[in-house]
């Protein structure tokens, strides 16, 4: 474990508005880690698994994942991350509009670490993200065994 290495935040979110709001609130919580934002699943997977700067090859990361993506389902990405030798310990926070119980359960079954419903009520949304920021601040993210 190397706590000295900065944790990269990888955000996979097709809605730019959502992405902006999430980032804003993370920053408000005082988290200043690098944040990479991807608008679709394909690019995100490419970055996660193949990019030299990506978590598979370079340092610990945390993934913020939306389930409704234009080119694939977020659960597919979740399955691939959790099935990968290098990335399976990378925490994945699922952030989506669905509060369907079966879908939440499914995400946890697939290995999601946290599931957060994006509430339409902005205050609670902002709260949730800020708390996530605090959570990130104390969280021990395992290094990728390269």
Partner 1 sequence: MLRLDDRRFNRLALLALAAGFALVLIAFGLIVASSIGNQRATERVQHTYEVVDELAQLKLAVERTETATRGYLLAPDPRRMLTFRQNASRILPHLAKVTQLTSDNRQQQRTIALLRPKIESQLAIDRDLMARSERGQLGAARQLFIERVKVRQIEQIRILARRMHDAELRLLAERQGTEAKRRSQLQWALAAAGLLLLLLGAAVYGLVRRYTSRLTRARDELHLLNTDLEGQVRLRTADLTRANEEIQRFAYIVSHDLRSPLVNVLGFTAELETADRAIGGLVERAEREAPQLVTAEIRHAREDLPEAIGFIRSSTQKMDRLINAILTLSRQGRRTLNPEPLAMRPLLEDLAGTLEHRLKDAEATLSIDADVPDLHSDRLAIEQIFSNLLENAVKYLQPGRPGLIRVGGRSGGDRVVYEIEDNGRGIDPADHVRVFDLFRRAGKQDQPGEGIGLAHVRALVYRLGGTIELQSALGEGTLFRLHLPQRFSDLGGAD
Which residues of the chain form contacts with partner 1 (CB under 8 A)? Answer: 15, 17-18, 21, 24, 68, 97-98, 100, 118-123, 125-126
Q: How many residues does the chain have?
A: 146
Minimum distance between the CB of residue 118 and partner 1, rounded to whole angstroms?
A: 5
Minimum distance between the CB of residue 87 and partner 1, rounded to whole angstroms?
A: 27
Nearer to partner 1, 22 or 36 (CB): 22
Minimum distance between the CB of residue 61 and partner 1, rounded to whole angstroms?
A: 25
Q: In what order do the strands lie in the sheet with 92-96?
A: 35-38, 8-12, 61-65, 92-96, 114-117
Nearer to partner 1, 90 or 96 (CB): 96
Token digits of residue 48: 């996660």
Nearer to partner 1, 56 or 65 (CB): 65
Minimum distance between the CB of residue 94 and partner 1, rounded to whole angstroms?
A: 14
Residue 126, sorted as left (phi over 0), alpha (psi -120 to 50) or beta, turns out to be alpha
What's the CA gap between 106 and 37, in Å, rounded? 25
């Amino acid at each position: 474990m190397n706590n000295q290495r900065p944790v990269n935040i990888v955000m996979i979110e097709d809605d730019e508005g959502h992405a902006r709001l999430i980032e804003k609130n993370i920053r408000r919580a005082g988290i200043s880690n690098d944040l990479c934002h991807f608008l679709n699943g394909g690019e995100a997977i490419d970055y996660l698994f193949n990019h030299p700067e990506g978590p598979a090859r370079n340092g610990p990361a945390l993934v913020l994942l939306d389930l409704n993506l234009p080119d694939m389902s977020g659960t597919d990405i979740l399955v691939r991350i959790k099935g990968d030798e290098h990335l399976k310990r990378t925490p994945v926070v699922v952030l989506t509009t669905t509060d369907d119980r079966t879908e939440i359960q499914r995400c946890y079954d697939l290995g999601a670490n946290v599931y957060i419903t994006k509430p339409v009520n902005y205050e609670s949304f902002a709260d949730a993200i800020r708390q996530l920021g605090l959570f990130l601040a104390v969280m021990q993210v395992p290094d990728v065994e390269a």
